[in-house]
Structure 1
């Protein structure tokens, strides 16, 4: 999966992701796209594509060129210190902002795959995700 403007971008549908709610303009927003397999969601190196967008405002947008319509899931985080890692505090709680497709709730632990899965039709799709801190 390539960025939309890439020369290698397939002619398939486009997935545009808008991330809002950054608490400060620093670092980057990392947007990660996963495929339809529940066991691959949030698993190490099991993602389809990842983009790191330098944060120049309280929001950022990524665009992914998909090879086919289908089911996908998204996880994002605000990498405020730009270390390419999702930082946690001493007790394991997130130290940086994060969010998921469908704005899936995370009241206790990570959301279920069923809550983050969405379908991208042949004409493409937009997804808005609000960062939580």
Structure 2
């Protein structure tokens, strides 16, 4: 015999159990490790930014539109790890803020004078990289590692 109250309790307990065991929506989260190569010195800090598709028009300059991380610089290779990301299209950027003023310094024509990189290691001349050039797709539950090579 079907008892609607019992069926509702079973559904609720299954939902609660799934959430408690990490089988619910949080289990769909992806993780991205960005290996930043070529940090030349311990001066300043390294900043990493991750832009999603909704922030594509702001890539790579409008950091307020991105998920950001900042850490003291260490010569050689460094990492930025972004966790609990929804599946989707992303582009990453990194810059060695050598004077630690919180921005990537630029010359009189707007070109960066501090080392920087974007995903897919795109380096167009005379313009900023575009989101489409630097984009990659993260799938649900994916753990991915990418390399960005800093250059001036």
Q: Could you say which TM-score interval applies, normalised by the shorter chain?
A: 0.7 to 0.9
Equivalent residue, structure 2, for 1:56:
74
Q: Which runs of 5+ in 2 are unaligned?
A: 1-25
> C-alpha root-mean-square deviation of aligned residues, in Å?
1.7
Where has structure 1 moved over 6 Å in runs of 4 or more? Answer: none
* 1:112 counterpart = 2:130: yes
Per the normalisation by structure 2, the TM-score is 0.73
Q: Is the radius of gyration larger for structure 1 or structure 2?
A: 2
Distance apart, 1:99 and its partner CA: 0.5
Q: Aligned pairs, how many?
A: 123
* 1:21 counterpart = 2:38: yes
Q: Which runs of 5+ in 1 are unaligned?
A: 1-9
- Secondary structure of the 2:40 match is coil
Per the normalisation by structure 1, the TM-score is 0.83
User: C-alpha distance in 2, partners of 1:91/1:69?
Assistant: 37
Q: Within 5 A, what are the aligned runs for 1:1-133?
A: 11=27, 12-37=29-54, 38-42=56-60, 44=62, 45-47=64-66, 49-121=67-139, 122-133=141-152
Q: Which has the higher helix share?
A: 2
Distance apart, 1:86 and its partner CA: 1.0
